[in-house]
């Protein structure tokens, strides 16, 4: 068994820059329009873990392409996707975290799409899942950081949910706790490649915020938290 490798897809340049700061022997790889930083981190055990981190781009296609490229280039033992999402759960608040136990697409007919691995023509899948062990480790890391979190349902679609009507529709279609534009694609590509995945979403707004207003949020504070969490999770592996 060689060195464990973990691929991390982040939402922000600052987040990936902060992850890079906690790595040693950092190198940069430019490929497929990505700047991928890789290096090593000491785990809480005796292992050294290799980390490859990048900003994946927004939307399902960018997320899928990034995930496949990282898998091809680095053959990771796990893919962690960290980002922000709109909150759909009345019990949660801004800065709380939803772990994607279940990931569902918006606007996607899973009778067709779900026939591909991990589904089959006879038994199409209707949703995707984060890995149980990774969820367990993330749960420990979040508890340790004192962050309110749940393991729930995340809905992914190629459009920004910015009105109460759209938010209600997402809840009706998917039962989601949070909505964003990438998670299900990352989970699907990871499943196609038999790589365990983890989707982590910090809640940035209540999914009824106009995009122009959303753009004004200070997400640099989130970048710091996300980077620390990602490194903590890696160390716990």
- The CA-atom distances, in angstroms, between 211 and each of 71, 123, 207, 221, 226 are 32, 38, 10, 19, 22
List 14, 15, 96, 131, catalytic entry: 15
The structure tokens listed for 8 are 């991390």
Helices (H) and strands (E) in the chain, counts: 8, 10
Residue 121's contacts (CB-CB under 8 Å, 6 or more residues apart) are 115
Is 232 marked active-site? no
List 47, 73, 127, 205, catalytic entry: 205
Closest CA relative to residue 81, chosen from 180, 166, 205: 180
Contact indicator for 80, 6 with CB cutoff of 8 Å:
yes
d(C-alpha 217, C-alpha 171), whole Å: 24
Is 180 marked active-site? no
Q: How many CA atoms lie within 13 A of 60 on its CB side?
A: 18
Active site residues: 15, 205
């Amino acid at each position: 068994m060689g060195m464990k490798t973990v691929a991390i897809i982040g939402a922000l340049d600052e987040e990936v820059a902060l992850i890079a700061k906690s790595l040693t022997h950092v190198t940069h790889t430019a490929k497929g329009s990505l700047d991928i930083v890789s290096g090593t981190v000491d785990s809480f055990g005796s292992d050294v873990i290799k980390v490859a981190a990048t900003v994946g781009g927004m939307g399902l296609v960018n997320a899928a392409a990034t995930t496949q490229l990282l898998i091809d280039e680095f053959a990771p033992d796990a893919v962690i996707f960290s980002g922000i999402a709109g909150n759909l759960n009345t019990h949660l608040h801004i800065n709380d975290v939803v772990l994607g136990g279940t990931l569902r697409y918006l606007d996607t007919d899973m009778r067709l799409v779900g026939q591909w691995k991990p589904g089959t023509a006879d038994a199409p899948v209707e949703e995707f899942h984060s890995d149980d062990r990774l969820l367990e480790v993330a749960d420990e890391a979040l508890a340790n950081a004192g962050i309110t979190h749940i393991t729930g349902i995340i809905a992914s679609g190629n459009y920004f949910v910015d009105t109460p009507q759209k938010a209600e529709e997402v809840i009706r279609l998917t039962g989601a706790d949070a909505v964003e534009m990438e998670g299900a694609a990352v989970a699907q590509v990871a499943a196609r490649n038999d790589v365990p995945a983890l989707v982590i979403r910090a809640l940035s707004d209540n999914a009824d915020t106009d995009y122009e207003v959303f753009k004004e949020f200070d997400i640099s504070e989130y970048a710091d938290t996300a980077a620390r969490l990602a490194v903590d999770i890696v160390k716990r592996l």
